[in-house]
A and B are shown apart, each in its own frame.
Chain A
């Protein structure tokens, strides 16, 4: 069965620090990949997504993610975090041709000024 792993459950950073949140999935075929974010008091919303093409995907608010097929990974990065990036981040994977979107357990990011 397909699964998504987010090994960082809780990350605490100071402003201006660099961020990398891990996401690994278990599926050998073609995948579509997503990062969703939930800011405090707001709805879960799409941060970025990868379907095909350039494996380095840029999203909103300076976030990017790199799809590394050989590592089954889709890690989220930001070179310099801000206090407003405090949120919960979810990685999600859809195996091409299936009708399922599998979410990871989420990573809670806290950024202190």
Chain B
């Protein structure tokens, strides 16, 4: 069966520090991968998605970036965090057959607090 992992589960970082959040998927090949952010009182906002290794699409201009160095690994990064980067970050995957109409399977999330 497929599983999705995210780490760390929680993170407290000072403003201006770098960020690296990791997401890995097991039990499937060539998944579509997604990064979402949920800020307090708001819905899930798509940040990045990837349909293959090295292929990243950005939905929202910001100081975050994403990379996909391996088929089942998706990394969210920042060189300098802002206060507004605080939130709950979710990684998700789908089979890739139907694009965004596929069922998406979500990870446990990372709670990021920037102070």
Chain A positions within 8 Å of B, measured between CB atoms, are 4, 6, 32, 34, 36, 43-46, 49, 51, 90, 92, 94, 96, 98-106
Contact = CB atoms under 8 A, between A and B. Distances in A.
Nearest to B34: A101
Interface stretch (B23-31, B43-51, B64-72): B43-51
Contacts, number: 49
Contacts of B4: 43
A102 B44 CA distance: 8
Contact of B43 (A34, A49, A100, A105): A105
B43 A45 contact: no
B99 A43 contact: no
B62 interface: no
Interface residues of B, number: 23
Nearest to B59: A100
B104 interface: yes
Interface of B: 4, 36, 41-46, 49, 57, 59, 90, 92, 99-101, 103-109
A105 B46 CA distance: 13
Contact of A101 (B57, B104, B105, B108): B104
B107 A43 contact: yes
Q: With a 10 A CB-CB cut-off, give which of B100, B103, B105 has the most chain A CB atoms.
A: B100
Contact of A49 (B42, B103, B107, B108): B103
Given A46-B105, A103-B36, 15 more contacts: A4-B43, A6-B43, A32-B100, A44-B92, A45-B106, A90-B44, A92-B44, A94-B101, A100-B46, A101-B100, A101-B104, A102-B43, A103-B44, A105-B42, A106-B43
